[in-house]
Structure 1
Amino acid sequence: MDKFLLQQQVLERLAEDLQQAEQAARAAHEVATHEENIAENKYDTLGLEAAYLATGQARRAEAIRQAMAHWRQFRPSPYDASKGIQLGALVCLVDADDKQQHLFLGPDGGSMKLLSGAQIVQVISREAPLGRALLGKCEGDEVLLPLAPHRQQFEVLRVD
């Protein structure tokens, strides 16, 4: 799997998300400021609700812009076994049922599933519970993820 291609896929997906958020913000703003939505009494809140929605969508768009900036600056480095898993690692985990899971540890804001060839790759940040549990681990190490009502256990099969 090519880390650069995965990074490009993340940026493309974030660009699509940004476009949707900006369109939603514009639409909500138009509803909020339309003359038919001027409040006639204290119970007429359509314009106010649309204004809140427009503000939320604008904040979402800004968060996506920041995530895109982080992903553009991101330079995944090769795996160094002396440091263990770090930001930029491609990790293959296996669980007790021999089910494999492929992960790409990246900057914040990129939590998504991508396709690399025939493999599904889950992009996670180091702030995610699994991302935190992986930091510093090496091939062959066990990773425990305590989740209610039980805990999940994985083995690090491969790291690139």
Structure 2
Amino acid sequence: MDKNHLLHLIVERLQHDLDIAVRAAQTAYEAATHEENIAENKYDTLGLEASYLAAGQARRVEEIRQALSVYQQTAGKPFDEQRGIQVGDLVMLETEHGDSRQLFLGPDAAGLKIQADDQLITVITSRAPLGHSLLGKAEGDSVEIVVSGQRQVFEVTQAL
């Protein structure tokens, strides 16, 4: 997997998500400011609810814009064995049960899922417990996290 290609796919996906979020924010803003949503009495909260939605949509637009800006400035660097896994690395993990997953340790946009070369890659950040645990690890190392009281162990099978 070419990291530059993966970064390109992430930027494309964020641009698509931004377009959708901008349209949703505009629709929410129009609903919040429409004359039919002016409160007729103290119990009429439709306009207030629409304004909360518009504010949330505006925050989402800004979050995506920030993530897009970061990824547009990110270049795919080769894995550095001396430093171990760092932000910007593509990591393959295997569970104790033999299940594998591919993660991209990105600077932002946690939870984004990208389909690349018939493989599903999930973006995580170093702020997540698993992402933080991966920092500095190398192929063959094990990573252990506890999620909802359940211990999960992963082996790093590849880092790019």
Q: What TM-score does the superposition give when structure 2 sets the normalisation length?
A: 0.94
Match of 1:28 in 2: 28
Give the Å deviation of 1:110.
4.4
Q: Which residue of 2 aligns with 1:8?
A: 8
- Does the C-alpha gap of structure 1 residues 87 and 123 become closer, same or farther in structure 2, counting only changes over 3 Å? same
Q: Are 2:121 and 1:127 aligned?
A: no
Identity of counterpart residues, as a percentage? 52
1:148 and 2:132 matched = no
TM-score (norm 1): 0.94
Secondary structure at the counterpart of residue 154 of structure 1: strand
Distance in 1, Cα, partners of 2:100 & 2:146: 19
Once the two structures are superposed, residues 82-116 of structure 1 have per-residue CA deviations (whole angstroms, 9 ceiling, x without a partner) of 11101111111111111111111111124312122
Post-superposition offset of 1:148: 2.0
Partner of 2:55: 55
| Corresponding residue number in structure 2 for 1:65 | 65
Q: Which runs of 5+ in 2 are unaligned?
A: none
CA contact (8 A) 1:108 1:127 kept: no
Retained in 1: the 8 A contact 2:109–2:123?
A: no
Aligned length: 160
1:134 Cα deviation from its structure 2 partner: 0.3
| Aligned residue number for residue 77 of structure 2 | 77
Please say if residues 145 and 153 of structure 1, whose CA atoms lie closer than 8 Å, have aligned partners that are also in contact.
Answer: yes
Counterpart Cα distance in 2 of 1:20 and 1:8: 19
Listed as ranges, the gaps of 5+ residues in structure 1 are none
Deviation (angstroms), 1:33: 1.4
Show CA shifts across 1:7-52 (max 9, x none): 1111111112111211111111111111111111111111111111
Structure 1 residue 149 displacement after superposition:
2.3
**Cα shift at 1:76:** 2.7
- Name the amino acid aligned to 1:25: A
Q: CA RMSD in A?
A: 1.2
Ranges of 4+ aligned residues in structure 1 off by more than 4 Å: none
Name the SS for the 2:55 alignment partner. helix
